[in-house]
Amino acid sequence: DVFLFIGDNVYADTRDMEVLRAAYAKLAAVPGYQRLRQTCPVLATWDDHDYGLNDGGAEFSMKDESQRAFLEAFDEPTDSPRWLRPGVHDARVFGPPNRRVQIILLDTRYFRGPLALRDTRLPGFGRYTANNDPAVTMLGAEQWAWFEEQLRVPARLRIIVSSIQVVAEDHGWEKWMNLPHERGRLLAALDGRRGGGVLIVSGDRHMAELSRLDREGYPPVYDLTSSGMNCALSPGYDEPNRRRVGKVHGGDNFGLITIDWEQPDPEITLEIHHADGGVPLQHLVPLSTLSTGGDGG
């Protein structure tokens, strides 16, 4: 029904827009990708390597030029508001009222402030620690206002697309927990939404896993991480994640979310598929367990 590119869609790491456009052109020439574009809508946000700067944020000097190349590559309609505002965040709604799914694509790059480095770096653990400066933002004031407005749109299920992990806390790579106050604000916004259930999907990590955050008095927050389709770590990779459900999965992969609306309580199946055809992760979640009350319109 819909395909989501959730960041690092191409690898460019460049300030040269001709290099970036060449990377997008290489993707566009892939026959399978051409067939996909004819089959279903393809929605996208970016992460650092297609943004242009490894682990980059608001300091990237070519972010406006990169945004234009991104919108061109994904054939953004000329009347789209994405051409008029900074950042590539976007939202779409699919399905009739009783089966309405809202997809919110966040931009965790354009506005993001500086990250804090660890004093000592453990091998293979990553270099970042928490930046507790409340003035440092992940989404920026304009995108935060837009996001909170989107959470008032009626929907039975909202899929929040974040290029970096939201729920995982323990590793030292990029994640929302590097800005704890911003992660708290995100969770508070989800708690205050207009009914309906919420799922988070993320990428970035070159492996796949399912994370779950439980908090008393609130529905669980699931974060399905799928990464990457052709550049994942080895199958034996592992790292700490106190929120993980099951195991971490290396090897090239993609994620799949299937919604069975025919059940009295619609069932959502979260899966990770390996490139070789295996399905190492499958987790069923009733929609009611994700809802804050009400059906979201």
pTM of the entire structure? 0.97
In Å, how far are 98, 196, 265, 272 from 262, measured between CA atoms? 11, 17, 8, 23
Q: Which two tokens mark 75?
A: 């054939």
Q: Which two tokens mark 119?
A: 């004093």
Position 295 scores a pLDDT of: 57
How much of the chain exceeds pLDDT 70, in percent? 98
Helix ranges, 74-218 (H): 140-150, 180-191
Least confident window among 80-89, 113-122, 153-162, 250-259: 113-122
* 288: amino acid identity, one letter: S
Task: Output the CA angle 134-137-140, nearest 5 degrees.
Answer: 135
Which has the closest alpha carbon to 101: 187, 201, 188?
201
Position 124 scores a pLDDT of: 75
DSSP 3-state of 61: coil
In angstroms, the CA 177 to CA 171 distance is 10
- Who's near 137: CB < 8 A, 6+ residues apart? 111, 112, 113, 144, 179, 182
Residue with tokens 């440092």: 136
Which has the closest alpha carbon to 107: 65, 62, 70, 153?
70
- What would the pLDDT profile of 67-124 be if each residue is shown by its tens digit? 999 999 999 999 999 999 999 999 999 999 999 999 999 999 999 999 999 998 777 7
Element (H, E) at 224: strand 221-225
